[in-house]
Amino acid sequence: MKILLPFVAVIALVFLAYAGVGVAKLHFLFGVVLPYAAIAVFIFGFIYRMFIWGKSPVPFSIPTTAGQQKSFPWIKQNKLDNPSSTLGVIGRMALEVLLFRSLFRNTKTELRDGPVLSYGSEKFLWAAGLAFHWSFLIIFVRHFRFFMQDVPVVLQMIEGADSFFQVGAPLLYLTDVVLVAAVTFLVFRRLAMPLIKYISLPADYFPLFLILGIAITGILMRYVTKVHIVGVKELVMGLVSFSPVIPDGIGVIFYIHLFLVSTLLLYFPMSKLMHFGGVFLSPTRNMPANSREVRHVNPWNYPVHVHTYEEYENDFRDKMKKAGLPVEKE
């Protein structure tokens, strides 16, 4: 159920767009209104979520230290995994966000008779995660050719590199293949590993199926069911310049693709996909480990009821005197 439901939901979205555009001819709704609404929700939703997180303070300095601390000049500090400076934190965060360093540490625990526990290297999740996120980013950047009148050189270089192997016509983009393969692996992983399946929620499958739907419709458009590409650019440029137009004859599949993307944008701020923003706010990663050197201030620190020395001495004065301990009051 928790797998089937999100799958059916994505199929239903496809049919909804197909019926809306192909049958009911609601081109303007699916081509203009929904994309605008989705982008607005995405931008404001994203900012709102970051704002809400940011509103809660960080009362304590709680970095997870993952290497040797800074102590003596003759003991080598691990400046990236236990950073004591801002520069170190930037390095740590960059490695985390760009290369998924923590996930790279991943191991697989195995228990054999004896008992013998062993911890083997397990890089598949890291590799698939990295492949997925990076190919998604490159594909996203490649789409900017639709948003700009003239295609910048940088974009052309990215496209050139992405189609390096020159397979087929139109040229096959590597990232298209990698994205589909990686997402498929991530779905497969959730289904095949009993413990991962056990922890998975509908909210874990839905974005995977949705992104797979987006990728497949995009690939179909490029390589199989061709759409009227000049019309697509015209529509997108219309959206970008706030003078929307609906050119004729683009093809329904484009609207399906666009609708799935709109759904992703709408869904993003209210889902776990916000890990994209959240990772930057994670206190175990984005704080310098220097709290013995520089005092961290808690904005809501308040006085507490303590048991003072005076009270303690009052409780034990006789015993203290008998034991020869100095006292404040005789």
Partner 1 sequence: MAKGPTPAELANIDYTPPQTEWMDTPTVIKTGTFCWGAKAKNLNIVEFPNARDWNPSEEDWKLPENWQEIFLKGMKDLLGKYRSFKVFMDICVRCGACADKCHFFIGSGDPKNMPVLRAELLRSVYRNDFTMAGKILGKLAGGRKLTLPVLKEIWYYLYQCTECRRCSLFCPYGIDTAEITMMGRELMNLLGLNTDWISGPVANCYMKGNHLGLEPHAIMNSIEGMIDDIETITGIRINPSFNRKGAEILFVTPSGDLFADPGTYTAMGYMMLFHELGLDYTWSTYASEGGNFGFFTSNEMAKRLNSKIYAEAKRLGVKYIIGGECGHMWRVLTQYMDTWNGPADFLEVPVSPITGTRFENAKSTKMIHVTEFTADLIKNNKLKLDPSRNNGLNVTYHDSCNTARGMGLLDEPRYIIKNVCNTFHEMPENTIREQTFCCGSGTGLNASENMELRMRGGLPRANAVKFVKEQYGVNTLANICAIDRATLSASMEYWVPGTRVTGVHELVANALIMKGEKERETDLRGDPLPGKEGN
Give the Cβ contact number of residue 105 at 10 Å.
13
> Is there binding between residue 5 and partner 1 (CB under 8 A)?
yes
d(CA 218, CA 215): 5
Residues 54-83 that bind partner 1 (CB under 8 A): 54-62, 64-72, 74-76, 78, 81-82
Please classify residue 175 by burial: count the beta carbons closer than 10 Å to its beta carbon, then call 0-12 exposed, 13-18 middle and 19+ buried.
Answer: buried
Nearer to partner 1 among residue 115 and residue 170 (C-beta)? 115
Residues 159-198 that bind partner 1 (CB under 8 A): 193-198
Min dist. Cβ of residue 321 to partner 1 (A) = 10
Query: For residue 194, is the peptide bond before it cis, meaning its omega torsion is within 30 degrees of 0?
Result: no
The binder of partner 1 chosen from 116, 153, 169, 224 (CB under 8 A): 116
Min dist. Cβ of residue 177 to partner 1 (A) = 23
> Is there binding between residue 223 and partner 1 (CB under 8 A)?
no
Per CB under 8 A, the segment of 114-122, 165-173, 177-185, 246-254 that binds partner 1 is 114-122
- Identity of the residue numbered 101: R
Residues 198-217 that bind partner 1 (CB under 8 A): 198-204
Residues 266-325 that bind partner 1 (CB under 8 A): 270-272, 274-275, 278-279, 281-285, 289-298, 300-301, 304-309, 312-313, 315-316, 319-320, 322-325
The binder of partner 1 chosen from 46, 53, 146, 223 (CB under 8 A): 53
d(CA 65, CA 89): 11
Nearer to partner 1 among residue 2 and residue 226 (C-beta)? 2
322: tokens are: 């008998």
Per CB under 8 A, the segment of 31-39, 117-125, 162-170, 240-248 that binds partner 1 is 117-125
First to last CA, the chain: 75
C-alpha pair distances (Å), 38 with each of 44, 144, 225, 260, 303:
10, 18, 26, 10, 47
Q: What is the CA angle 7-276-151, rounded to 5? A: 90
Nearer to partner 1 among residue 242 and residue 300 (C-beta)? 300
Nearer to partner 1 among residue 192 and residue 230 (C-beta)? 192
Contact predicate 120/209, CB 8 Å: no
Nearer to partner 1 among residue 162 and residue 204 (C-beta)? 204
> Is there binding between residue 25 and partner 1 (CB under 8 A)?
no
314: tokens are: 């009052």
Contact predicate 34/262, CB 8 Å: yes
